[in-house]
Amino acid sequence: MKHLATIGLLVLLALTACQPQPEDTYRPTPYELPTPLFFPSQNNIPADNPMTEEGVALGDQLFHEANGCAQCHKREYSYEGGPGATLEHLGTTHTMLPLINLAWNTTGLGWQSQIPTLEDMVYAAYTDPLEINMDTAEVVQSLRQSDTYPELFRKAFGTDEITFVRVEKAIAQYVRSLVFANSKFDRYLRGEEQLSQDELNGYRLFITENGADCFHCHGGGSNALFTTHLRYNNGLDAQPEGTFKAPTLRNIALTAPYMHDGRFRTLDEVIDFYSEGVQYSDDISPLMHHVMEGGVHLTPIEKQQLKAFLNTLTDDELH
């Protein structure tokens, strides 16, 4: 009887040994996405791609691979290409949009909102002949041969099997983590810093219909994303090409060239356009209230003040 109990104990031990040990269990750390003051509470995190510390870390590494997204999307330019990223230089049909605060973009990505999700955008960027231009199978093969990536994928997704869908998910998680809300204007909203009189005057121009009338499309006030993420015909041409997404104006001083085709090289040129260069067409957005006068007609001082305010939207975290 005593022998029988011993044998039973040994069998039990053997069976237990076959079970996964606690340290092998896939237990990623949930990533706490911050929600800054006046940001929406609803975000675009899909149910099948929750953010985790491990997923974001993997995405960060993939994003910054030699042949990855960071080739063009540079942190110091709000994850755009910088002043040299013109259409001529890029060879693309459109300029870049900044990759910041996109966790709160629920209306599609790209200048024409043509890409439904950030996961889709990763696929589009990798496979577009004018962008990264890589075969997804080659990307996966290359990562599988790496010494480090299988382990990073295992930590992020509970398996070291690398697929392109997991590449998409990891990079999308990383991009969602790019939250910027610590500009001088944010500190003003939080009561931590005072704007100069010129900056305040510029903000009043930005936020009033009889001023520069920017806010209907670019937010401000209780829309702290500084965009509606909607598309408009803003009167660039008398023969318009369609409607284009209003980009966030956060870090706008860093994201030249401006407009979908990069036609304006400086903020001054942009302000001049909205002041007296708006082109009439039947299809212009009804929110371009001053188109019949060619623009909002700011004085030189008002233009300086508006620019001073726009400069307060540059985030310290980028430096």
Partner 1 sequence: MKTKLHIVLLWALVLAATACSNPVGSLTLTASHEVDGTPLVTDALRYTNEAGNAYLVNEVQWFLSNLELEDYEGNRVMLTKTWYIDTNLPETQTLRVPEIPAASYRILRFTFGLCDADNLSGAFGNPPESNMFWPDELGGGYHYMKLNGKYRNADSLLAPLAIHLGRGQNADLTAFYDNSFTVELPIELDVYDHRDYSLGLVMNLNQWFRTPHVYDFNTFGSAIMQNQQAQTLLKENGFDTFHINHP
**Can you give the binding site for partner 1, defined by CB under 8 A?**
38-42, 106-107, 204, 207-210, 213, 215, 219-223, 228-230, 280, 282, 284-292
Compare residues 129 and 286 and give the one whose CB is closer to partner 1: 286
* CB 281 to partner 1: min, Å: 9
Compare residues 72 and 217 and give the one whose CB is closer to partner 1: 217
* CB 189 to partner 1: min, Å: 11
Compare residues 92 and 223 and give the one whose CB is closer to partner 1: 223
* CB 223 to partner 1: min, Å: 6
Compare residues 127 and 223 and give the one whose CB is closer to partner 1: 223
The one-letter amino acid code at 33 reads L
> How many residues appear in the chain?
319
Query: Cα separations (Å) of 165 from 125, 144, 279, 300?
Result: 14, 14, 43, 51
CB burial of residue 93 (10 Å; 0-12, 13-18, 19+): exposed
**Cα–Cα nearest to 253, from 96, 70, 82, 36:** 82
* CB 290 to partner 1: min, Å: 7
* CB 69 to partner 1: min, Å: 27
Compare residues 128 and 283 and give the one whose CB is closer to partner 1: 283
Compare residues 42 and 114 and give the one whose CB is closer to partner 1: 42
- How many angstroms separate the CA atoms of 210 and 291, rounded? 13
CB under 8 Å, gap of 24 or more: what pairs does 278-282 form?
278/234, 278/235, 279/235, 279/236, 279/237, 279/238, 279/240, 280/235, 280/238, 281/233, 281/235, 281/237, 281/238, 281/239, 281/240
- How many angstroms separate the CA atoms of 159 and 275, rounded? 56
